């Protein structure tokens, strides 16, 4: 078991909380179940970012250990566009572009992991028909002060660059994906740390067990 944990802990940049994986594995053994591992992508580009190779390898590590893998294709949130690391508004995509990119992502995932025994979910499943009253309940779980801790929002706000309301709620929508699938662990690049921690906060707000956030370093220069 120790060797397996060492493999799962390899090449990790940040884990929050620091001993979260060990605790989750111990709890899963007590409950006689496997962990639910989440990795989400917004299909905002024609191809998966090659810099995320380390993240995909970590997903494979968990798959090799027999854990439940859930890949979220953020087809709904792609219509908003992840503002992470951006100093201006991301141009909107058409539904046709989103669908085409989504299929390309799935095809590329299949080159790294066995997609025959994973779950591929689209977040339009729960967002397309969400009543507006539920949207209000959802966004009420997070404060503006929490959102403004994001460096990119803070920089834009201080430089008087526009920060649009739909960008502000983006991390909340992405985080809600973790609520819907009861994620135990969310994987991502270091650029997604804030968004993934919002998912943990939302799970706890909905009286669920908070996910462990594990980030891996992004490979630079591989756009």
In order of start, what are the domains of the chain with their CATH numbers? 2-215 (3.40.50.620)
Q: How far apart are CA 180 and CA 218, in angstroms?
A: 27
- Over its C-alpha atoms, the chain yields an Rg (Å, rounded) of 17
Could you give the 3-state DSSP secondary structure of residue 215? Answer: strand
Residue 34 CA: distances (Å) to CA of 49, 122, 171, 199? 28, 22, 27, 20
Q: How far apart are CA 16 and CA 34, in angstroms?
A: 20
- What is the reported pLDDT for 223? 46
List beta partners, residue 70. Answer: 38, 119
- What is the reported pLDDT for 87? 57
What contacts 6, CB < 8 A, 6 or more positions away?
none
Q: How far apart are CA 221 and CA 58, in angstroms?
A: 20
- What is the reported pLDDT for 21? 95
From first to last of its 223 residues, the chain has per-residue pLDDT tens of 454 888 999 999 999 999 899 999 999 999 999 999 999 999 988 888 766 789 999 999 999 999 999 999 999 999 887 666 655 666 778 889 999 999 999 999 999 999 999 999 999 999 999 999 999 999 999 999 999 888 888 888 888 888 888 889 999 999 999 999 999 999 999 989 999 999 999 999 999 999 999 999 876 644 4
Cβ atoms within 10 Å, residue 141: 17
The whole-model pTM stands at 0.90
Burial of residue 35 (number of CB atoms within 10 Å: 0-12, 13-18, 19+): buried
């Amino acid at each position: 078991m120790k060797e397996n944990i060492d493999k799962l802990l390899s090449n990790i940049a940040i884990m929050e909380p620091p001993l979260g994986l060990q605790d989750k594995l111990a709890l899963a053994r007590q409950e006689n179940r496997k962990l639910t591992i989440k990795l989400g992508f917004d299909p905002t580009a024609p191809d998966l970012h090659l810099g995320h190779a380390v993240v995909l390898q970590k997903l494979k590590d968990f798959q090799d250990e027999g854990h439940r893998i859930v890949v979220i294709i953020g087809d709904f949130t792609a219509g908003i566009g992840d503002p992470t690391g951006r100093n201006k508004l991301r141009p909107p995509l058409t539904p046709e572009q989103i669908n085409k990119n989504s299929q390309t992502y799935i095809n590329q995932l299949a080159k790294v992991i066995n997609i025959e025994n994973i779950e591929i979910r689209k977040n339009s499943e729960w967002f397309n028909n969400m009543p507006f009253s539920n949207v209000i309940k959802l966004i009420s779980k997070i404060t503006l002060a929490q959102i403004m801790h994001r460096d990119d929002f803070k920089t834009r706000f201080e430089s008087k660059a526009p920060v649009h309301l739909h960008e502000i709620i983006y991390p909340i929508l992405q985080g809600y994906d973790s609520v819907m699938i009861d994620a135990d662990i969310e994987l991502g690049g270091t650029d997604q740390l804030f968004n993934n921690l919002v998912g943990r906060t939302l799970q706890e707000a909905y009286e669920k067990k908070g996910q462990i956030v594990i980030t891996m370093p992004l490979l630079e220069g591989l756009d």
